[in-house]
Amino acid sequence: MEPDTREANPGGPAGVVYTRDELARRVEELGREISAFYRRKLGDESVVVLGVLKGSFVFLADLVRALDLRVQIEFIVASSYGDSTVTSGVVELLYEPAASLEGRHVLLVEDIVDTGTTLERLHVLLAESGARSVEVCALLLKEVEAFEEEARREGSEATDGPLRRPRWVGFDAPDEFLVGYGLDYSENFRHLPYIATLKEPVSPDVRAPGSEQAPPEGQ
């Protein structure tokens, strides 16, 4: 399927990194792992699945349907990128969860963790919310080595540092700009059912490698 946004934006999806089927299989696995974790922890209580908009909306929709738990759903809006593909380092909170998180078990759902800046800011806010527990599930983790280095330094997988690795990660992602399955470039491409690298905008006579490559059939 060729995205119809391609003409409107010279930069379009190039190589597919995770197909629709790969995403579906991994989300099912995450659902089973998360359900097992919370069933032991919660008994009859529900978990608040807190999605970070907008990027997590597709992943969250699939993930909650793979959970065998009592679940409530809330959203938070955090913006760190503006229109650029390079992180600004500034995280703005544009919308807070409607329901109180006090005393609740919260599962924060993120599309992609890159430098960890957004996650660090959200951890601070959630600590202030009085949540009883906060766990993170990120579909993609980019700076894998930085997170592993931090964990080695702290001698543990879960530290209080800014680079605390999410408890659940769908995929260790390549350090490229990715779009699709909720991830955007200037609000485009969120609807794609697969995840692809972004082809940089090119002039007609300077074509990026892979720019002729169309996503495989059925994606």
Catalytically annotated residues: 114
Q: Which is nearer to ligand 5GP, 87 or 159 (CB)?
A: 87
**Stretch near Mg ion under the rule CB under 5 A, chosen from 54-62, 66-74, 153-161, 177-185:** 54-62
For residue 122, the minimal CB distance to Mg ion (Å) is 10
For residue 90, the minimal CB distance to Mg ion (Å) is 13
Among Mg ion, ligand 5GP, none, what binds residue 60 when CB lies within 5 to 8 Å by partner kind?
Answer: none
Q: Does 166 bind Mg ion (CB under 5 A)?
A: no
**Stretch near Mg ion under the rule CB under 5 A, chosen from 26-34, 49-57, 145-153, 162-170:** 49-57
User: In 65-95, which positions are buried (b, 16+ CB within 10 angstroms) versus exposed (e)?
Assistant: ebbebebeebbbebbebeeeeeeeeebeeee
Task: List residues near ligand 5GP by CB under 6 A.
Answer: 55, 80-81, 87, 110-119, 142, 177-179, 183-185
**Site size toward Mg ion, by CB under 5 A:** 1
Peptide bond into 199 cis (omega under 30): no
Contacts 24+ apart (CB under 8 A), 159-162: 162/116, 162/117, 162/119, 162/120
Q: What is the DSSP letter of 90?
A: -
Q: Does 97 bind Mg ion (CB under 5 A)?
A: no
Report the chain's C-alpha Rg in angstroms.
Answer: 18
Q: What number of H helices and E strands is found in the chain?
A: 4, 9
Q: Cα–Cα distance between 140 and 123 in angstroms, integer?
A: 18
For residue 162, the minimal CB distance to ligand 5GP (Å) is 10
- Single out the residue of 55, 116, 170, 215 in contact with Mg ion (rule: CB under 5 A): 55
Q: Cα–Cα distance between 118 and 93 in angstroms, integer?
A: 10
For residue 9, the minimal CB distance to Mg ion (Å) is 20
| Contact footprint for Mg ion (CB under 5 A) | 55
